[in-house]
Amino acid sequence: MSTPALREEKSAAPEKSNQNPANLSQLLESYGSLSPYIGADHAFYEHHLLYDRVIDPAVASAREQFEAFSRSIRDILAQRWVSTKKTYEQQNAKRVYYLSLEFLIGRSLANNVSNLLLDPAVQQAAEAKGLDWLGLIEQEPDAGLGNGGLGRLAACFLDSMAMMQIPATGYGLRYEYGMFRQTIANGWQQENPDNWLRDGDPWEVARHHEKVEVKLNCSFQLRAGNIETVRDRPSTLIGIPFDRPVVGYGGKTINTLRLWTAAAPDYFDFKEFGTGDFVGALSDTLEAESLTRVLYPDDSTTAGQGLRFLQEYFLVACSLADIIRRFKRYNTDWEKLPEKVAIQLNDTHPSMAVAELLRLLLDDAHLGWDQAWELTKKTLAYTNHTLLPEALEKWPVAWFDVLIPRHLEIIYEINRRLLDEVRVRFPGDNGRVERVSLVEEGERRKIRMANLAIVGSHSTNGVAAVHSRLLRTTTVKDLAEVFPDRFNNKTNGVTPRRWLLQANPALGQEITQAIGKEWVTDLSRLKELRRFAEDGGFREAFLASKRQAKQRFADWLQSTTGQIIDPGTLFDCHVKRIHEYKRQLLNALRIIVVYNRLRSNPELDVVPRTFIFAGKAAPAYRLAKLIIKFLNNLGATIDADPVVKGRLKVLFVPEYNVSLAERLIPASDVSNQISTAGYEASGTSNMKFMMNGALTVGTRDGATIEMAEEAGEENLFLFGLTVEQVVNSRSWYSPYWHYDHDAETREALDLIFSDHFSPDEPGIFAPLRETLLTMGDHYMHLADLKSYCEAHHQVGILYADPEAWAKKAILNVASSGKFSSDRTIAEYASDIWKVEPCPVI
């Protein structure tokens, strides 16, 4: 293969010239000459083994093969990466900066190869070389720099912005340890460190010369093993950027994800020795290095820890210093800042950007308050991700005071002006003044970070229609009434490249055969599949692709864990963070109801099901960890019961991450999206499942509502209380009513309480009784159990008719176009950022 074999990809190259390569040979020229990299001699692959690693290519380990291969791919994109950067500079293009404490990117090799349209060529090259391509891909650790949906959204957005040729940079932290690796021991979750950078990472490029300084008004010292702050003794942290390529589909644009690592300043303060304060000097280094050591493994509650506060400020300070430095290189007029820079705050985590940007404009640029304030608001925009009160960040005033007192001063001044305005506009409304204030009064005064983000930006968006409405009408109602024009909705999306094209090649090929390949960059085209729902041949092809994905998953599971599951059964999946509001317990109760029915009537005709759970619990969230234990015990009990053998199987697959989601979602028949209505802001796995032809059993919550609007309610299995019903029944809801009046509910609960699932550990599930009964069942599991069981009964009936099943599933795929993150990004670009594509020249 002297020229890369990109055969099929010619027709695959998307047509729209403004977004996509007009012509593949042009594209390849722009990569530089490819043949030395992946041609017959694979010179560069071997070059990397020999000269980077100094080993004989013939004896390279799989890990070394992966590194060398990834480096070769990075070589291919390097030139394009540089020209992307150069184009943005030459055009002085308006840029988007996406600030996020989390980027759940997963693996990069296969994604980059696919987005560069090098799929067949690279695979063939690897195989010609005698390399095991699939095994090689498995060598890459997941970059798990996030907890769940919020971090994955940031990663999908980067993919979409690069595909759409939007000048965008992601800013985050380069955690040395990502999300913990989950193992299960005796049914319990164990957390293991995820040292993903141990062997280095072939994608990142360290940019030491672009380091920035972050100044704090305190120092740190070790005392009796604890790190203490010393106020009014300023210290400096260094932020070193590490860049990762973000390959846009088609390879025209290579954007950058810039992750910061904390370090101590190069200089060593010898004065410290002179004064005998040796520990003081040393602990600067200790603290600096530990700052970006670890991701906080909690997706929805504020950990309330000073280190997290410092991480947030460090990300903001490094990123804004970098952004302003770049702005100043190409612009002289500060008024132009909002015309050149759009900064999106992914949740409140980076919302100190309000005070930091204002500080830079006031103290460094010496602008007056009014101008600095207007520029700050016009530059920043904020995305809210949750209505859970415990997840709305509030940081102690005392921490600002010790670490960044100037920011506190600025926040107080913002607040003074805000409250003055509110008093004028809403005379006598003291309650409102108290509620909109940036400061929560009390014994320990706190700064309300969501209020700061809303007041200091021009846009606040929720992530699904219902969520945006609730945000506006309940959570921050008072502020929304003060600034009604700032509030808007941007329903989340996921990238169809990773979640359909790459994750589900069998279905992807069937779709392309039916309607062409344009869907990859314009997912709305999937609606053309609607008519294929009536086509028997296509239905058969759809079912075959599903069988293939299920078999693939079953094979993977057996080869990695030894567990055997039957791809002939219905795969009934519930995968996401373990949290009470996501109601894995409701699903468990439903399974027990079916189990009880079979125990009392073994002849009962039910569709054989494999229930697949996966997800991590925050290490400090005891009930969530108990739920994992319960799911494992439920599985073990059911496995051991001959009555249900071959008909029910419950599986908890450990270590849920992006790669597991990519394997499991295509193999799913049913997607459970069963949060208590009003609690799931959007959800994104619901969208991934829909795209992959699973049918949704769900509550009317988050984006699931919009999925039903797109597909028609008759093509989903919706059940349960609505948002309004949940709110209106709060005051009188009693789980005991359901326990007393519904026999199946009572029998399911009694079976748990009787230690049927914990014969060797009596009483361990007592906390489940507390949460579901004694403490009032806050998430209303029992209220929804009956209708949930009924919905799944209907699922079983439909599954027995494969033609009817396939028809519904195809209609779901055909209706999933809205849920591409390309659509979401197009909305952010036109409504919030006012940014245009900037094609690379």
We find the least distance from the C-beta atom of residue 694 to ligand PLP, in angstroms, to be 12
661 binds ligand PLP (CB under 6 A): yes
We find the least distance from the C-beta atom of residue 638 to ligand PLP, in angstroms, to be 24
Would you give the distance in Å from CA 694 to the centre of its chain?
Answer: 20
654 binds ligand PLP (CB under 6 A): no
Query: Which of these segments, 110-118, 147-155, 466-474, 706-714, binds ligand PLP (CB under 6 A)?
Result: 147-155
We find the least distance from the C-beta atom of residue 729 to ligand PLP, in angstroms, to be 25
- Distance from C-alpha of 613 to C-alpha of 685, rounded to nearest angstrom: 13
Burial of 33 (0-12, 13-18, 19+ CB in 10 A): exposed
Q: Which is nearer to ligand PLP, 48 or 688 (CB)?
A: 688
Query: Which of these segments, 315-323, 427-435, 632-640, 680-688, binds ligand PLP (CB under 6 A)?
Result: 680-688
Q: Which is nearer to ligand PLP, 71 or 152 (CB)?
A: 152
Q: Which is nearer to ligand PLP, 95 or 577 (CB)?
A: 577
Exposure string of 725-746, with b = 16+ CB inside 10 Å and e = fewer, is bbeeeeeebebeebbeebebbe
Using the rule CB under 6 A, which residue among 408, 592, 658, 809 binds ligand PLP?
658
Q: Which is nearer to ligand PLP, 352 or 664 (CB)?
A: 664
Judged by CB under 6 A, the number of residues near ligand PLP is 13
We find the least distance from the C-beta atom of residue 464 to ligand PLP, in angstroms, to be 11
475 binds ligand PLP (CB under 6 A): no
- Distance from C-alpha of 570 to C-alpha of 546, rounded to nearest angstrom: 11
657 binds ligand PLP (CB under 6 A): yes
Q: Which is nearer to ligand PLP, 152 or 211 (CB)?
A: 152
> Do residues 299 and 618 make contact, with C-beta atoms less than 8 angstroms apart?
yes
- CA-nearest of 507, 675, 492 to 577 is 675
We find the least distance from the C-beta atom of residue 120 to ligand PLP, in angstroms, to be 26
Q: Which is nearer to ligand PLP, 342 or 464 (CB)?
A: 464
- Which residues are catalytically annotated? 385, 576-577, 582, 684, 688
We find the least distance from the C-beta atom of residue 656 to ligand PLP, in angstroms, to be 6
- Put residue 334 in one of left, alpha, beta given phi > 0 → left and psi -120 to 50 → alpha: alpha
> Do residues 689 and 716 make contact, with C-beta atoms less than 8 angstroms apart?
no
> Do residues 319 and 99 make contact, with C-beta atoms less than 8 angstroms apart?
yes
Q: Which is nearer to ligand PLP, 106 or 250 (CB)?
A: 106
300 binds ligand PLP (CB under 6 A): no
Q: Which is nearer to ligand PLP, 461 or 684 (CB)?
A: 684
Using the rule CB under 6 A, which residue among 14, 148, 250, 817 binds ligand PLP?
148
We find the least distance from the C-beta atom of residue 175 to ligand PLP, in angstroms, to be 16
The angle subtended at Cα 499 by Cα 661 and Cα 77, nearest 5°, is 110
**DSSP letter assigned to residue 249:** T
User: Looking only at residues 345 through 364 of this chain, which bind ligand PLP when binding is defined by CB under 6 A?
Assistant: none
DSSP collapsed to 3 states, 572-598: EEEECCCCHHHCHHHHHHHHHHHHHHH
We find the least distance from the C-beta atom of residue 385 to ligand PLP, in angstroms, to be 11
**DSSP letter assigned to residue 177:** B
211 binds ligand PLP (CB under 6 A): no
Would you give the distance in Å from CA 184 to the centre of its chain?
Answer: 23
- Distance from C-alpha of 758 to C-alpha of 829, rounded to nearest angstrom: 53
Query: Which of these segments, 89-97, 414-422, 634-642, 683-691, binds ligand PLP (CB under 6 A)?
Result: 683-691
Using the rule CB under 6 A, which residue among 174, 432, 498, 576 binds ligand PLP?
576
616 binds ligand PLP (CB under 6 A): no
User: Looking only at residues 578 through 597 of this chain, which bind ligand PLP when binding is defined by CB under 6 A?
Assistant: none
Using the rule CB under 6 A, which residue among 152, 252, 497, 625 binds ligand PLP?
152
Listed in sequence order, the residues at least 6 apart from 486 whose beta carbon sits closer than 8 Å to its beta carbon are 454, 457, 458, 459, 460, 480
- Distance from C-alpha of 809 to C-alpha of 691, rounded to nearest angstrom: 9
502 binds ligand PLP (CB under 6 A): no
| Pairing of the two strands 143-145 and 103-106 | antiparallel
Listed in sequence order, the residues at least 6 apart from 600 whose beta carbon sits closer than 8 Å to its beta carbon are none
The sign of the torsion formed by the CA atoms of 57, 62, 63, 66 equals positive
We find the least distance from the C-beta atom of residue 818 to ligand PLP, in angstroms, to be 16
824 binds ligand PLP (CB under 6 A): no
Burial of 109 (0-12, 13-18, 19+ CB in 10 A): buried
Q: Where are the alpha helices (DSSP H) in 562-684?
A: 584-600, 622-639, 658-664
Q: Which is nearer to ligand PLP, 658 or 780 (CB)?
A: 658
Q: Which is nearer to ligand PLP, 152 or 458 (CB)?
A: 152
- Distance from C-alpha of 603 to C-alpha of 597, rounded to nearest angstrom: 10
We find the least distance from the C-beta atom of residue 651 to ligand PLP, in angstroms, to be 17
Using the rule CB under 6 A, which residue among 415, 460, 587, 685 binds ligand PLP?
685
We find the least distance from the C-beta atom of residue 152 to ligand PLP, in angstroms, to be 4
Listed in sequence order, the residues at least 6 apart from 532 whose beta carbon sits closer than 8 Å to its beta carbon are 514, 515, 538, 539, 810, 814
Crossing angle for the helix pair 584-600 and 781-799, to the nearest 10 degrees = 60
684 binds ligand PLP (CB under 6 A): yes
Q: Which is nearer to ligand PLP, 261 or 657 (CB)?
A: 657
Burial of 371 (0-12, 13-18, 19+ CB in 10 A): middle
We find the least distance from the C-beta atom of residue 467 to ligand PLP, in angstroms, to be 12
Q: Where are the alpha helices (DSSP H) in 277-396?
A: 278-291, 306-330, 337-340, 353-359, 369-379
632 binds ligand PLP (CB under 6 A): no
Exposure string of 606-623, with b = 16+ CB inside 10 Å and e = fewer, is bbebbbbbbbbbbeebeb
Query: Which of these segments, 124-132, 229-237, 678-686, 800-808, binds ligand PLP (CB under 6 A)?
Result: 678-686
178 binds ligand PLP (CB under 6 A): no
> Do residues 361 and 464 make contact, with C-beta atoms less than 8 angstroms apart?
no
Query: Which of these segments, 275-283, 557-565, 654-662, 743-751, binds ligand PLP (CB under 6 A)?
Result: 654-662
Query: Which of these segments, 39-47, 144-152, 552-560, 635-643, binds ligand PLP (CB under 6 A)?
Result: 144-152
111 binds ligand PLP (CB under 6 A): no
Q: Which is nearer to ligand PLP, 456 or 493 (CB)?
A: 493
690 binds ligand PLP (CB under 6 A): no
Reduced to 3 states (helix: H, G, I; strand: E, B; else coil), residue 127 is helix
Burial of 224 (0-12, 13-18, 19+ CB in 10 A): exposed
- Binding residues for ligand PLP, rule: CB under 6 A, are 148-149, 152, 576-577, 656-658, 661, 683-685, 688
